[in-house]
Chains A and B, each alone.
Chain A
Amino acid sequence: MDVALTENAAGRDVPTRINGQDAIPFMGVGKYRPRGHKAAPSIRTCADYPDDGNKTAADLRTALKNAGLADGMTVSTHHHFRNGDILGNAVFEAAASLGVKDLRWFPSAAFPCHAPIIDHLKSGVVHHIEGSMNGPLGDYCSTGQMQGMGVLRSHGGRWQAVQDGDVHIDIAVIAAPTADPFGNANGVTGPSACGLLGFALVDSMYADHSIVVTDNLVPFPCIPWQIQGNNIDQVVVMDSIGDPSKIVSGTTQLTKSPDRLLIAEMTARFIRDAGILADGFSFQAGAGGTALAIAIFLKDMMIEAGIKSRFIRGGSTKYLVEMLEQGLTDYILDGQTFDLDGVRSMRENPCHQDTSPFTSYNYHGKGCFASMLDATILGATEVDVDFNANVVTHSDGRLLHGIGGWQNCLFGKCVILPIPSVRDRIPVIVDRVTTLCGPGDLIDVVVTERGIAINPRRQDLLDAVKGTCLPIRPIQEIKTEVEQICGGKPQLPKLGEKVVAAIKWVDGTVIDCVRAVGG
């Protein structure tokens, strides 16, 4: 596959055509101006749907056949089982048995459990994947074996791509913890309750044909209807759509690592001492061990200072739920629920609001609340001396993680990356990130165990922490120290010429691409 490359505004060579579609190189933050109108699904009539509201189909294969599955189509899937999903594999097994080829898989997320898709990639049932790739799929793509080019998007970017018509979904298959025969569905009830279905909302609204799959069918109405049956064509009941034990962990694990706790404590102190921790403030914290620990340190500081926050953005966990229930925040705005306390709270507490990438992240909308957050805490696999960051590849260039909501969250008022400066001899602060996912213009603070680096662009933050006992250091100095520890500058990864995946920015432009590993 010969790909024409051009240098984008971030100085990265990126493809101008991706899987036969034109692609726009990244032009800088906020520079690309979208035109035209949103994509729209075709108009339907009630005359074609049963008056009794019963849209159930016998099984998944029948439903796909009814939907007119054909060569070259785009099939999206959404599930909530993380690494315990059965649906993604079942869809393509059924597709293979129907003899179709060259499908584009557009998952909301792919996990190591989706390794069987590799067989479908090899046999030509699936042409390529546009979604997160890690584990065996990441390796398959990284080694240049996939026919088409992978495309990685953020949660908000996925909504943007569908809404703007960059990706037209022919058939969407949505796993739901509870649904009724009409297709109304939710994630807060049922034996495999997961909280919410926000990621699948765009699929249900824009796909030509939408199928809801559930292991818990209830009579109409399924309340609440997070997914509206009016957007759904068919409903399929399966005994099991995944391993519920993988959905959410019963209890979320706080980190026990003393180094991570140190980083978490420094991050919380930074938020406090920089004056961000104030009555009515807002912050975002994920479910990673370090982020959870930060939330707990912040909680103690809030109690000490006698203040509360207006809203917390989750990934909710029992720790955030406790803060809500103890009156330390007015609201949780939840994008993804990580434990059973979170699910319960969302079901029972009207102040625990489910959100979709439309309300929280979509860059091609009339604003989104990611930019309103006072403090945003994110991870990264690498950060460079210009504060650019990588979340998708390992330092050896291999695909490792999806983007998730990471790029979208970069628009927060103070974006903080609490990360170790070195992981088992792998320097995390480098001269130039292997893959650019987030531009340094948007990354304000890097908190490492060896000190806190503030982006020189943020003179206001540098001024705010002057006179505090926080260990503020230039990022270059931390990098030099880490290289001294690791035994010198690392060699650059040996990468091939072939472009195996494109990294989209939140506006649909191409910010970087991933090359094949192993030369």
Chain B
Amino acid sequence: MSTPVESNAAECGQRGESVRSDCWVAVTLAKAGGIELDFKSKVESMYGDSIRELILDGLSRLGVVNAKVEVEDAGALPFVIMARLEAAVRRLGGDVGAGLLPEVAPNTDQASERDRFRRSRLYLPGNEPKFMLNAGLHKPDAVILDLEDSVAPPEKDAARILVRNALLSINFSTAERMVRINQGDRGLEDLDFIATHNLHLVLIPKVESPVQVQQVDQRIQTLLAKEKINQPVYLMPIVESALGAINAYNIATASPNIVALAIGLEDYTADIGVARTNNGRESVWARSQVINAARAARVQPIDTVFSDVSDMAGLRASVLEAKSLGFDGKGCIHPRQIAVIHECFAPTADELAKANRIVDAFEEAQAKGLGVVSLGSKMIDAPVVKRAQRVVRMSGQ
């Protein structure tokens, strides 16, 4: 789709009966004659005038003066139309400057925190606008706008513009805003588009060595410095291979901006040459390795996704297992998985009651200036207090 029919023509986006919330844009440059706009929209009667204005203004900002422009709109929001238009014009080559940045939506500028909850992170395909708008309403701890596996290679350029615009335009509610970039140089180029636009965290796929993390970190630091942005962009490397698992601790400590270390099992099991099973025996070592590396590096260990959306009992078992191994979070590919994940990571009533007693005793001891914490006749060690504090935090109290 991204291959121009002729060198002065390019298109972008989706069209057809089943398309929702997206639009298709085709631009054919001309020598003269100004802009000839051929526009069809499912929301013509409501937003036709404002969309035409948006397109004409956008073309002028992108430096397109003479062209035939066709647009088929299936209820795309303004940030989507802008992204498709910009991507189509970029495909023609030429200089588009900073591109067509949408206005920043209200209440999207909160910073993240290093040790915030990352129990659930909801994957959203980076080139599919229809899932983006309401993702935050399902209250995941994070959304991941994915530029990697869920985006077909010819659409990578379009997806990074759409994702950039989504970061600016969508209020993802309380969710941390994450982007999974591509591997290697393409991933570094992804950063040029997204790093300075309301981004909290970058997931780096298929990490096997600390250098990969450092390259990403340096690129981000350069981009942030250029825009004088002080808010940090955190990193979450994903271990997805035997070599990555072997190097897990070095990866987890590769940058001070790393806040979590994740494991991806589809690729890992393929790499070690076994099938991925539900009981997961084949990956116990790698998962424990990632957990221990992450804990040693004082970052959060995060488990892979559970991919059978219809199997809620399987998901529950999988999350409870992840929790028992030591993981702090789990990936999800469907919003209905979020509540189950949160529920499973939450401490049981007994765990919480016990933790509360320990934390209370600790606080009481501190208030009295006592060096030793005791509960009843028992002495409480520092790590026990720390674990109790984490339990209380996990309960959301």
Interface residues of A (CB under 8 A from B): 258-259, 261-262, 395-397, 422-427, 449-450, 484-488, 490-491, 493-494
Contact = CB atoms under 8 A, between A and B. Distances in A.
A487 B134 CA distance: 16
Contacts of A258: 134, 138, 334-336
Contact of B42 (A422, A424, A486, A487): A424
A491 B21 contact: no
B58 interface: no
B137 interface: yes
A259 B334 CA distance: 11
B261 interface: no
Contacts of B110: none
A261 B137 CA distance: 12
A424 B20 contact: yes
14 contacts: A258-B334, A262-B134, A424-B43, A425-B47, A425-B77, A426-B43, A484-B105, A484-B106, A488-B47, A490-B47, A491-B45, A491-B46, A491-B47, A491-B49
Contacts of A487: 47, 50, 54, 77-78
A262 B138 contact: yes
Given A487-B47, A494-B45, A425 B134 contact: no
A425 B75 contact: yes
A485 B334 contact: no
B317 interface: no
B48 A491 contact: yes
B74 interface: yes
Nearest to B49: A491
Given A424-B42, A425-B76, A484-B105, A259 B48 contact: no
The 9 closest A-B CB pairs, nearest first, are: A424-B75, A490-B46, A258-B335, A396-B45, A425-B75, A487-B78, A493-B45, A259-B134, A425-B43
Contacts of A261: 335-336
B305 to A, nearest CB: 16
A471 B184 CA distance: 43
B117 to A, nearest CB: 18
B45 A262 contact: no
Nearest to B48: A491
Contacts of B48: 491
B166 to A, nearest CB: 12
Contacts of A488: 47, 50
Contact of B46 (A262, A396, A449, A484): A396
A425 B138 contact: no
A320 to B, nearest CB: 23
Interface in B158-186: none
Contacts of A425: 21, 43, 46-47, 75-77
A270 B51 CA distance: 38
Interface in B25-51: 42-50
A423 B77 CA distance: 11
Contacts of A259: 134, 137, 335
Nearest to A394: B45
B133 interface: yes
B57 to A, nearest CB: 13
A258, A259, A426, A491: which has the most chain B beta carbons within 10 Å?
Answer: A258
Contacts of A449: 134, 137
A317 B29 CA distance: 56
B335 A486 contact: no
A449 B77 CA distance: 17
Nearest to A487: B78
A427 B106 CA distance: 19
Interface in B45-94: 45-50, 54, 74-78
Most chain A CB within a 10 A radius of its CB, from B21, B134, B138: B134
A223 B380 CA distance: 78
Contacts of B46: 395-396, 425-427, 490-491, 493
B134 to A, nearest CB: 5
A426 B75 contact: yes
Contacts of A427: 46
Contacts of A426: 43, 46, 75
Contacts of A490: 43, 46-47
Given A424-B74, A425-B77, A486 B138 contact: no
A397 B76 CA distance: 21
Contact of B47 (A262, A486, A494): A486
Nearest to B41: A425
Nearest to A259: B134
Among A423, A425, A426, A494, the most chain B Cβ lie within 10 Å of the Cβ of A425
A422 B45 CA distance: 15
A491 B41 CA distance: 14
Contacts of B47: 425, 486-488, 490-491
Contacts of A422: 133
A262 B75 contact: no
Nearest to B77: A425
A430 to B, nearest CB: 10
A423 B76 CA distance: 10
Which one of B47, B49, B50, B54 has the highest number of Cβ atoms from chain A below 10 Å of its Cβ? B47
A258 B310 CA distance: 12
Contacts of B137: 259, 262, 449-450
A150 to B, nearest CB: 20
Nearest to A398: B45
B332 to A, nearest CB: 11
B49 A424 contact: no
Contacts of A491: 45-50
A486 B51 CA distance: 11
- Max chain A C-beta neighbours (<10 A), residue from B43, B76, B105: B43
Nearest to B135: A258
A181 B30 CA distance: 75
A493 B78 CA distance: 20
Given A258-B335, A449-B134, A490-B47, 9 more contacts: A396-B45, A396-B46, A423-B75, A425-B47, A425-B77, A426-B46, A487-B47, A488-B50, A493-B45
Given A258-B336, A259-B137, A424-B21, A485 B77 contact: yes
A397 B44 CA distance: 12
Contacts of B74: 424
Contacts of B43: 424-426, 490
Nearest to A422: B133
Nearest to B131: A258
A7 to B, nearest CB: 25
Contacts of A486: 47, 77
A78 to B, nearest CB: 32
Contacts of B77: 425, 485-487
A432 B380 CA distance: 64
Nearest to B137: A449
Give the most central of A261, A262, A494: most B CB within 10 Å. Answer: A262
A423 B75 CA distance: 8
A372 to B, nearest CB: 34
A494 B45 CA distance: 7
A422 B106 CA distance: 18
Nearest to B339: A265
Interface in B332-366: 334-336
A386 to B, nearest CB: 20
A30 to B, nearest CB: 35
Contacts of B335: 258-259, 261-262
A422 B130 CA distance: 12
Nearest to A488: B50
A490 B21 CA distance: 16
Contacts of A484: 105-106
Nearest to B169: A485
A452 to B, nearest CB: 13
Contacts of A493: 45-46
A488 B53 CA distance: 13
A112 to B, nearest CB: 16
Interface string B131-143: 0011001100000
Nearest to A449: B137
A262 B74 CA distance: 24
A264 B42 CA distance: 27
